[in-house]
Amino acid sequence: MSQSKKIILSGMRPTGKLHLGHLVGALENWVSLQGEYQNYHLIADYHALTTNPDSSEIYKNSIDMLIDWLSAGLDPKKSPMFRQSRIKEHAELHLIFSMLITTSRLERNPTLKEQVRDLEMETMAYGHLGYPVLQAADILLYKGQVVPVGEDQMPHIEITREIARRFNALYAPAHPVFPEPEGKLTKFARLPGLDGRRMSKSIGNTILLSDSADEIKKKMKGAVTDPQKLRKGDPGHPDICLVFAYHNKFSPLEIGEIRTGCESGALGCVDCKMRCADKIATALEPHRERRSHYESHLDEVKAILHDGEEKAKSIAHQTMEEVHAAMKMG
Ligand code: SF4
């Protein structure tokens, strides 16, 4: 483990092929942090069971997601990538941590309350309640000091810090085993889905990183725009149009001209959408090329995963040795 660079732990639940929201909200940030920090990237396959216990697609989805990570520029030599389920110490540390936090504290977690409301859950599996405890184990097993997160995940980082503090105070007051990690807020303008709602694969309103130029055009044709701009010539309101939000990201040099064209009516929505689709397709072209390489070299992908898991196992083993020593359990 590098001593000079701060350690970052970040991960995603494997949901298969990734979309633009993942790229803008996480992957670009992860790639840019690669040199400055020592990154570890977790395929959170046990966490994926929280919302759907059907495990039949998880392996396939994990490989698909890993291919997108690699295609986005994550370098396996710098940033080990591994599955949570293959490193048994995640489960063991989760068990120990589960003794160090009360259920009432977990029930007060605002992210949990939001999930219960959004998913209209009448009953809750323990996995929902204990989600931040497993997440604390994920982070602290690698002694993560920095965790890139969105605003909604900040309460989980606070729980991780509390657990680290409690463990250190109880078992290792003189020589703390765990750092108290900091949440690093991801700075990005969240891209809306093509229907204006939150971008989500389950809603079907996404552009996938693997979509072809034709697929992107087809999807973009159906994107909602300013409802008051019915035809070319009508003045539009770019700030309430999601296509403009996409332009902001993918056509930064032309954004002033697009705004003027939209507001004056000179630019029609069909042309504007196709222009946007072209920009997105061009930006994703290198990603698609790398993806096609990995798709036809699956042995290479599996070897990268194996290598990442060996590195992760060795660190996890070392941390658990320190945990057992601190706990004086023999
Ligand atoms: S011209 Fe472009 S930015 Fe303006 S409303 Fe139409 S799609 Fe949106």
Instruction: Let me know whether 170 and 24 are in one domain.
Output: yes
Whole-angstrom CA distances from 215 to 124, 138, 206, 221 are: 38, 37, 11, 10
70 and 105 both lie in a single domain: yes
| Burial status of residue 49 (CB atoms within 10 A of its CB: 0-12, 13-18, 19 or more) | middle
150 lies in the same domain as 74: yes
Amino acid 2: pLDDT: 45
Structural domain count of the chain: 2
Q: 163 and 144, same structural domain?
A: yes
For residue 230, give the CATH number of its domain.
Answer: 1.10.240.10
Provide the domain limits for residue 79. 7-191+298-327
Which atom belonging to ligand 1 lies closest to the Cα atom of 241? 8
In a domain, 134, yes or no: yes
92: domain CATH number is 3.40.50.620
Question: Smallest Cα–Cα separation from 243: which of 191, 293, 290, 200?
Answer: 191
Residue corresponding to tokens 């807020």: 185
320 and 255 within one domain:
no
Same domain for 92 and 224?
A: no
Regarding whether 287 and 171 lie in a shared domain, the answer is no
154 in the same domain as 24: yes
In a domain, 207, yes or no: no
Cα–Cα distance for residue pair 81/36, rounded to 1 Å: 17
Instruction: Kindly compute the dihedral angle of the four CA atoms of residues 289, 291, 295, 301, in this order, to the nearest 10 degrees.
Output: 130
Atom 5 in ligand 1: residue holding the nearest Cα: 226
Tell me phi and psi for residue 106, to 5 degrees: -70, -35
**Cα 17 to ligand 1 centre (Å):** 28
Looking at the structure, tell me whether residues 39 and 96 fall in a common domain.
yes
The DSSP code for 153 is G
127 with 251, same domain: the answer is no
Task: Provide the sign of the torsion angle of the four alpha carbons 34, 155, 95, 319, taken in this order.
Answer: positive
Cα 189 to averaged position of ligand 1 atoms, centre (Å) = 18
Q: What is the atom index within ligand 1 of the atom nearest the CA of 238?
A: 3
> Based on the domain organization, do 270 and 315 belong to the same domain?
no
Q: Residues lining ligand 1, judged by CB closer than 6 Å?
A: 225-226, 229, 236, 238, 241, 243-244, 262, 267, 269, 272-273
- Please name the residue whose Cα sits nearest to atom 6 of ligand 1: 269
Tens place of pLDDT per residue across the chain (330 aa): 445 899 999 999 998 899 999 999 899 999 999 989 999 999 999 999 988 889 999 999 999 999 999 999 999 999 999 999 999 999 999 999 999 999 999 999 888 877 777 666 777 889 999 999 999 999 999 999 999 988 888 999 999 999 999 999 999 999 999 999 999 987 766 799 999 998 988 888 999 999 999 999 999 999 999 999 999 999 999 999 999 999 999 999 999 999 999 999 999 999 999 999 999 999 999 999 999 999 999 999 999 999 999 999 999 999 999 999 999 987
